[in-house]
Amino acid sequence: KENAIAQPVGTTLERYIMRKQAEFPFATGELSQLLRDIALAGKIVNREVNRAGLTSIIGAMGQQNVQGEAQQKLDVEANIRFIRALTNGGEACAVLSEEEDDIIHTGNCNGKYVVAIDPLDGSSNIDVNISIGTIFSIYRRVSPVGEDATREDFLQGGRRQVAAGYILYGSSTMLVYTTGHGVAGFTYENSLGEFFLSHPSISIPTSGTVFSCNEGYWFDYPQYVRDYLMQCKRQGQSGRYVGSLVADYHRNLLTGGIYLYPPTSKNPSGKLRVLYEAFPLAFLIEQAGGTAESEHGPILDIVATEFHQRTPLFVGSSSMVNLLLTKSVGAVEQE
Ligand code: P6P
């Protein structure tokens, strides 16, 4: 947040990106262009999401995605839109998508960046008109410019991200992102087709009164998680769980709270994906003054070895995540 020049609410995303770039004399503009490309794809997906109930494309395609989950057509559509926008934009040499088993090479071998993306998370919520979201994570490639991207470009580790963010298709559509200098939020004005700066500098409250988890797994949760949740309930805290990660995360980011996806028997390593869910949301939350942990330490310190590997995720207000962790430590000592 050093030398950040405060920009007035109402600034367009375009002007914001331009002014931010001007703060860094050595910036060449490629990352700026990449962010524009992501915002463009977000506008297109937003239009598809808003029409989802109206067009014949709704409903499961009957196709399985690489995760073996029933694929809703909108996440196929979103996947195509983001890959196309990143290919046409020219700045990303490769994309790793939740919807694709392997790296998608864009053909932009001179592109300096790679993007890991969940094009439309929570797509099972589409048919019931619940908010859904895109989550993205950007790295500067480590493979030689001019050649194809490699696995290593995507497996550099969470602290090597140069930018990360999400687009929330909710009661309004918002783009929230960081380039390592704080977190800014932009709200989309459909009639103008523009994102406008609405949240110049987002900081998560150090504590909150909301816990977000699927309590249907209560008897599956580790004891320390149940102990923590019982304490939250004794304190009269509120359970809020949309079942759409970006929606739950965004609410907690603004009001304070904790999102928990612990290990379960169905997902012993957690359900959420490291590269395009946990890492970007962990980068954002640390930039906003919050905390993101798995059972084994900070999310950003995870050493990912597989593209689609999963992790438990505890993310949100620092005092809430830290209190949970003290219980987990207590559990270990009791063992
Ligand atoms: P469960 C949606 O499928 C998702 O990936 C996240 O958006 C959401 O928070 C979580 O899974 C919901 O999972 O097991 O509670 O239905």
Of residues 277 and 64, more confidently modeled: 277
**185-243 per-position pLDDT tens digit:** 999 999 999 999 999 999 999 999 999 999 999 999 999 999 999 999 999 999 999 99
Interface predicted TM-score of the whole assembly (ipTM), two decimals: 0.97
Q: Does the beta carbon of 245 sit less than 6 angstroms from any atom of ligand 1?
A: yes
Query: Binding site annotation covers 98?
Result: yes
Atom of ligand 1 nearest to the CA of 121: 7
Alpha carbon 154 to its chain's center? 16
- C-alpha distances out from residue 229 to 103, 214, 238, 291, Å: 39, 11, 10, 18
Of residues 5 and 220, more confidently modeled: 220
According to the model, what pLDDT value does residue 287 have? 98
Given CA atoms 79, 274, 62, 60 in this order, what sign does their dihedral have? negative
Q: What is the CA radius of gyration of the chain?
A: 19
Q: Does the beta carbon of 121 sit less than 6 angstroms from any atom of ligand 1?
A: yes
* Contact between 181 and 149 (Cβ < 8 Å): no
Query: Binding site annotation covers 260?
Result: yes
pTM of the model: 0.94
Query: Binding site annotation covers 77?
Result: no
Q: How far is the CA of 242 from the centre of ligand 1 (A)?
A: 9
According to the model, what pLDDT value does residue 328 have? 79
CA-based nearest residue to 243, from 126, 330, 325: 126
Q: How far is the CA of 309 from the centre of ligand 1 (A)?
A: 15
Task: Give percent of the chain above pLDDT 70.
Answer: 91
The angle at the Cα of 223, spanning 313 to 231, to the nearest 5 degrees, equals: 85
Confidence of residue 72 (pLDDT cuts 50, 70, 90): low
